[in-house]
Amino acid sequence: MVTVGQLMKKDLVTVDAGTSVVDAARLMKTWNVGSVLIAENGHVVGIVTESDIVKKVVGADRGPYFVPVEDIMSSPIVGIEERRPLTEAADLMNKHQTRHLGVTNGGAVVGILSVRDLLHPVSVDEF
């Protein structure tokens, strides 16, 4: 059984609340990721994804230089324990209509699992 922890991204990209959407998008480009976590007082409070930026900023004709990430973040983050199977992660993404899950261990976010990550076992025939 392939677990969430085996495929999650462990290098978390985090920005503080108050960061502009443009700066968050630049970090996504730099780190080649599709989301950033939003931190407030040292705690992860939300997530902003490429889709959030497109739909809530660009599509809404808002100026990305003046929109703080917390205005468009999804909160709370839908999470799953790292030891859970990938099938459960896929079901959770479908249920919550999300493409990213916060991966947790003991309640703390330790990774991110994206819908793209679910394709890895298929591409290497691990199922």
- What are the residues facing 112 on neighbouring strands? 9, 102
Size (the chain), residues = 127
Per-residue pLDDT of the chain (127 residues; tens, 9 = 90+): 889 999 999 989 999 999 999 999 999 999 999 999 999 998 899 999 999 999 999 999 998 889 999 999 999 999 999 999 999 999 999 999 999 999 999 988 999 999 988 887 655 555 4
What pTM was estimated for this model as a whole? Answer: 0.85
Report the amino acid identity of residue 112.
I
Residues in contact with 58: Cβ distance below 8 Å, sequence separation at least 6, in sequence order = 64
Within a 13 Å sphere around the CA of 102, how many CA atoms are in the beta-carbon half? 23
Domains assigned to the chain = 4-123 (3.10.580.10)
Closest CA to 41 of 22, 14, 65: 14
